[in-house]
Chains A and B, each alone.
Chain A
Amino acid sequence: MKLQRASRRKPVARRGEAAILFTVGPYSFLIAAEEVDEIRETHELVSVAVNTMRTTVEKIRSTLKKAGKTYFVVDGSLHFQMMPSRPTRLMILRNQTVAVTVDAIDRMMEIDRVLPLPKAFTCIEREWYRGLAVINEKVIPVVNGKTFLTAAEQVIARKALGPAAETGARA
């Protein structure tokens, strides 16, 4: 009898996981609370849109200076390839120099299960999302905070922004 290796699956279900519900445009998303360091308003952002326009990191619209570090600020609507929205909140991600602008932070909640994204989805959304949660019969994608800006994109961003990351006009 031929033994077959059991298929390896990423452990997507973390019972009772604290998560933050936020919106970008007409859609709701969830992100694990442990992936978010801080939430603040957007008025401290420095615009770098001119530098990133027509590059592969066009979704970086601004930067944020915090504790001596420069954070790349990703526009949530551009990241998810949506129509531009009106962001009012900034999520600063943990263990990264990356932040994301979103329209609103709804609330903290606990999610019981993160269901795998169906295999029928084959494109970039498989990188965006860890999986899907069903909250009161509503399907909400659970985003992977590490994929808002990959390491390669950060390298491209530093090259594109150069000194502009320090001296760009206020957003």
Chain B
Amino acid sequence: MTRMNESQFVLFPLGDRRFALPAEKVSELARPDRLQTFPHSTPLLTGVLVRRGSIVPVCDVAQILIGNQGPARKFYLIASRQYGRTNEQVALPVTGECELTSAEIVAPTGKLPDYVLGLLTLGKEIIEVVDLEKIVGPEVAA
């Protein structure tokens, strides 16, 4: 089993499951905000938020991670996603409070989706660390 150095991660809940993002990717957890919509065709995007004068796209990754029938999203996790040489903020609707933790990430094994960066073991819980670049992008099928 391959182990890497311990790092910090933000755990976020989607329904009964928790997932993780590398802490350096996360900027804040935002309270429910006014979601604004306009016509578009990009999968997973449900609208945008206006945060401090900037427009932040909202990407409902729960559709990929737990399926379309997830519970109501209560907060927005504001994270950064890299596009080439630039970073752009994206808001991920989550179903509850998030948690910062330090843990060792284990390289994914077996048949896990490409967006799984690695796995964390917290007690009896196995948590998938998600790669935003692979889950929020044109290659993700609706």
- A residues adjacent to B (C-beta < 8 A): 7, 27, 29, 80-82, 115, 118-125, 128, 132, 134, 137-141
B72 contacts partner chain A, Cβ-Cβ < 8 Å: no
* Further 6 A-B residue pairs, CB within 8 A, beyond A81-B41, A119-B83, A122-B138: A120-B57, A120-B88, A120-B136, A122-B42, A134-B53, A138-B36
> Could you show 30 A-B contacts with beta carbons less than 8 Å apart?
A7-B85, A27-B37, A80-B39, A81-B41, A82-B39, A118-B48, A118-B55, A119-B88, A120-B45, A120-B57, A120-B59, A120-B81, A120-B90, A120-B136, A121-B57, A122-B42, A123-B40, A123-B41, A123-B42, A124-B41, A125-B39, A125-B41, A125-B42, A134-B50, A134-B55, A137-B50, A138-B36, A139-B36, A139-B48, A139-B50
- Given A115-B55, A139-B36, decide whether A120 and B50 contact each other with a Cβ distance below 8 A: no
Q: What is the 8 Å Cβ interface bit string for chain B, positions 25-68, against chain A (1 contact, 0 not)?
A: 00000000010111111100100101001111101000000000
- B residues adjacent to A (C-beta < 8 A): 34, 36-42, 45, 48, 50, 53-57, 59, 81, 83, 85-86, 88, 90, 136-138
Q: Give CA–CA (A120, B60) in the complex, Å.
A: 12
Q: Give CA–CA (A29, B138) in the complex, Å.
A: 25
Interfacial chain B residues near A81, Cβ < 8 Å: 39, 41
Q: Give CA–CA (A7, B84) in the complex, Å.
A: 11
Q: Give CA–CA (A122, B41) in the complex, Å.
A: 8
Partner of B42, one of A115, A120, A141: A120
Interfacial chain B residues near A132, Cβ < 8 Å: 48, 55
